Amino acid sequence: MLITVIAIAVMCLSAAAVAMNLRAMASDTLAMVREGAGRALRNGRLVPNLAFGSLWAMIFLLSYF
């Protein structure tokens, strides 16, 4: 019982930490996605990377149906 309470407390504290820094996390994530997409576009790897990501998304989505 004590371990469950500790686990729930850690989970709630982690969620609160994420919620308090949501704007900073979103802006950092957007900057990294822009930088990665720009680098992939310059190197000519954007289309293969998107195709690979789409393949994995299809695999995971179809596994639920």
Q: Map out the domains of the chain as residue ranges.
A: 25-65
Place of tokens 């919620």: 19
Mean pLDDT value across residues 21-46: 92
User: What is the DSSP code (8-state) at residue 45?
Assistant: -
Instruction: Provide the whole-model pTM.
Output: 0.56
Q: What is the tens place of the pLDDT at every residue in 17-26?
A: 988 999 998 9
Specify the pLDDT at position 2: 93
Residue owning tokens 């995971």: 60
Q: Residue 56 belongs to what H/E stretch?
A: helix 46-62
Residue pointed to by tokens 């680098």: 39
